[in-house]
Amino acid sequence: MESTDKDLVTIEDQGAVVLLRLNRPEVLNALNMPLRRRLAEIFEGFTDGGTLRAVVLTGDEKSFAAGADIADMAAIGTVDMYLRHNERLWEAVARCPVPVIAAVNGFALGGGMELAMHADIIIAGKSARFGQPEVKVGIMPGAGGTQRLLRAVGKFKAMRLCLTGEMIGADEACAMGLVSQVVEDDQVLAEAMAFAGRISRMPAIAVNQIKEVILHGQDAPLGAAMALERKALQILFSTEDKNEGMAAFLEKRRPDYTGR
Ligand code: CO8
């Protein structure tokens, strides 16, 4: 049977957690336009307030994603690149209201590393390889590979990776702040799903507020970011889950959260 754009990302809906797998193994999950459009379409469908609590995004055992599809970019010029409005597709992933966990085995390069950096948590296998090799093909990162990376690891590490295009291993990526946790290669998905499961049992509005405040706060001046944090905390004082969480603690029982 002929594959369609729908097959480029497979979806396992497990209720509270949705698992998305990039599915172009023949090119190490290189991100062509149909795949990125499909990913954006899926992420646009994610809203809070329903049953969804976390998203796990993965590739396969050989590659998370080896970057934007070079064959797809080789022949296009500035106007075509502009008219693609790639930023709109990436924005859909960035705006996901619930935590996104990237489960990375193998290569996370170029646009693939940028996609991983759109996630809130990155869990990597020991053999995973990270890099921004765009400079080696005459371009540069364009979906956060300079800016999200800068914020994650600081100027000097970001410069090293972007200017040389060299790949680094998972342990080094973790040490520099690019990865949340390194596990055995065959444990990556299980660990990411377990992590998503843990988050899904937390009070949902608190989880969403934490994500929002960390992401918006990192780009704001400290005073404004602290005010944002304070306001978000104050909002949580009117949730049912705050009452339930504190009551459960005082009554020495497990909380039963409703997400309200
Ligand atoms: N694009 C297209 N095809 C690719 C890509 C890619 N990024 N990566 C791998 N492939 C293909 C190969 O061409 C090959 O296809 P074929 O079998 O038909 O020859 C197949 O995948 C397997 O790859 P290799 O044979 O090269 O496998 P190796 O294990 O020898 O090497 C590497 C693996 C090191 C990952 C190597 O494939 C490689 O260097 N790939 C390119 C990595 C790269 O440069 N990525 C950055 C691309 S540029 C980018 O991401 C720009 C982002 C800009 C922002 C986003 C806006 C769109």
Q: How many domains does the chain have?
A: 2
Same-domain check for residues 177 and 93: yes
In this prediction the pTM is 0.96
Whether 51 has a pLDDT exceeding 80, the answer reads yes
Look up 131 and say whether it is catalytic: no
Which position among 114, 119, 125, 143 bears the catalytic label?
A: 114
Asked whether residue 259 is domain-assigned, the answer is no
| Ligand 1 atom at shortest distance from the alpha carbon of 165 | 44
Question: Is 114 in the active site?
Answer: yes
Q: Under 8 Å CB-to-CB from 98, ≥6 apart: which residues? A: 46, 48, 52, 53, 54, 55, 204, 207, 208, 211
68 Cβ inside 6 Å of ligand 1: yes
Whether residues 28 and 139 share a domain: the answer is yes
pLDDT at res. 3: 61
Digit-coded pLDDT (tens) for 197-251:
999 999 999 999 999 999 999 999 999 999 999 999 999 999 999 999 999 999 9
Which residues, 6+ apart, have CB-to-CB distance to 108 below 8 Å? 64, 65, 102, 115, 116, 124, 128, 129, 130, 131
Percent of the chain with pLDDT over 90: 95
Task: State whether 147 and 220 are in the same domain.
Answer: no
Q: 2 pLDDT band (50/70/90 cuts)?
A: low
Cα(167) to centroid(ligand 1), Å: 13
* pLDDT beyond 60 at 1: no
Stretch 21-42: mean pLDDT, rounded? Answer: 97
Tell me the best of 24, 28, 113 to mutate to test the pocket of ligand 1, counting ligand atoms within 8 Å of each CB and taking the most: 28
What's the pLDDT tens digit per position in 61-98? 999 999 999 999 999 999 999 999 999 999 999 999 99
Question: Strand 129-131 vs strand 63-65: parallel, antiparallel, or unpaired?
Answer: unpaired
SS3 for 35-88 is: HHHHHHHHHHCCCCCCCCCEEEEECCCCEEECCECHHHHCCCCHHHHHHHCHHH
Clarify whether residues 131 and 212 are in a common domain: no
| pLDDT (tens digit per residue) in 126-174 | 999 999 999 999 999 999 999 999 999 999 999 999 999 999 999 999 9
For ligand 1, say whether the CB of 175 is within 6 Å of any of its atoms: no
Q: Are residues 109 and 139 in the same domain?
A: yes
| Predicted confidence band of residue 180 (pLDDT cuts 50, 70, 90) | very high
Domain range spanning residue 224? 204-251
Decide the pairing of beta strands 9-13 and 17-22: antiparallel
Question: Are residue 158 and residue 225 in the same domain, yes or no?
Answer: no
Asked if 129 and 186 sit in the same domain, the reply is yes
In a shared domain, residues 223 and 180? no
Identify the CATH number of the domain in which residue 221 sits.
Answer: 1.10.12
CATH code of the domain in which 129 resides: 3.90.226.10
209 and 165 in a single domain? The answer is no
